[in-house]
Every structure is written in structure tokens, then in C-alpha cells.
Amino acid sequence: MILNWVAKDLRINVVGQGLPAELVLRCAIPCVLCIIFSKQLDCYHVSMTTMLIKPLRFFAVLLLFYFYSVDVLAEPVVALPKAALDPSEIAIIVNDRDELSRQTGEYYRKQRNIPLNNLIHISFKPGRTNMPIAEFHRIKRQVDEATPLGVQAYVLTWLKPYRVTCMSITSAFAFGFNQDYCAQGCKTT
């Protein structure tokens, strides 16, 4: 059906020529171009017989578009988004002054096959619930400078502190500290 439509629309007499369907489909592109640019290629009302009479021009156009045209018969390719981060896209932040943080960071790195250069060492006093803003900014600068290219996520390996004033420490690392994220009571942040 498609071949008949292409043949009829492009005035190509395919019936009885014995040409493979792929060749005919690939011929459609140069024939359409011939119709569009009829003054330049002088091939507006062409038939397969006429094109065979002028074999050099037809053969050159056919070869050009056979090898460089979009493959009409190719299987479609579906590209799906990634389902998970690669180990190289994760950085582990370890507090060197906290024994549990060091152990957790090393264990996580080995279990997830995270590269050793994605282990970021920082140092601050552990055990308190709240980290002062100035200290957070100092640590965040260190982490930003030590983070390898391509890292998409951080793993924090300490229990405390878990806040930077009114903001969670994980949010502060992810978004950067911003007082606007702090809400008093049940309000939009």
C-alpha cells in the first residue's frame, strides 16, 4: 500500500520492475527532492524507465541517499532515563572527629563500590544537635572544593548535628543554607 502510494505520488512505475522494497523506499527521498528542486535536477515527471535511461544521474542520486538517508526500516530505539546513580556520582562526607562517622563512611563506601576519591573528610565537634551558621558555611566550602566532578548526591555519615539553626543539615547541604526555608509553626517554607 505504501509502495503504491509512493509510486503513484512520485510517478514511479514500480510494478513489474522487481526492485526490492528497501531500494524503492530509499529512492523516495531523492525523487521527492527531484520534484521539489525540479529546475535544478530536471526530473519532475520521471518514471523508473526514464530514470534508467539516464542511469548516471539516477545512480549518483540513488547512491547518495541510499547510504546517507534516514533508515526507514530501522527498529525504533527507546532511551530510558537512568534508574539509579552510579557509584561515581555519590560522595560520602565523613567527620574525622567522630569514630562512628569514619566507620560508617568506610563501610558504606565498600558496600556501594564508591571510589575512594569520593570520600570527603571534614572535621567538626560531634554530639551537639545544632551547628552554627558560620561553621556550616566553612564546612560547606570545604566540601564543595573537595567534591569530584559528576557527583550528584552526598551521604552524610554522622548522627549529630542534624540541624543548622532551623534547617535540617541534609537540606542545608543539598540546597545551601537559606533562612527562608525556616518556618515558625505550620507555614510554607
Model confidence over 10-67: pLDDT tens digits?
Answer: 444 444 455 555 555 555 555 545 444 444 444 444 444 444 445 556 666 666 566 6
Average per-residue pLDDT in the chain?
75
| Residue 27 or 95, more confident | 95
Task: Determine the average pLDDT of the residues in 67-84.
Answer: 72
Least confident of 2-6, 99-103, 115-119: 2-6
Q: How far apart are the first and last CA of the chain?
A: 61
**Sequence spans of domains, the chain:** 2-68, 87-181
Confidence band of 3 (pLDDT split at 50, 70, 90): very low
Return the percentage of the chain with pLDDT > 70, whole number: 58
Q: What local confidence, expressed as pLDDT, does residue 29 receive?
A: 53
Which phi and psi (to 5°) does residue 62 adopt? -60, -50
Predicted confidence band at 6 (pLDDT cuts at 50, 70, 90)? Answer: very low
Q: How far apart are CA 172 and CA 137, in angstroms?
A: 10
Taking each continuous run of H as one helix and of E as one strand, the counts in the chain are 8, 6
Instruction: State pLDDT tens for residues 121-148.
Output: 999 999 999 999 999 999 999 999 999 9
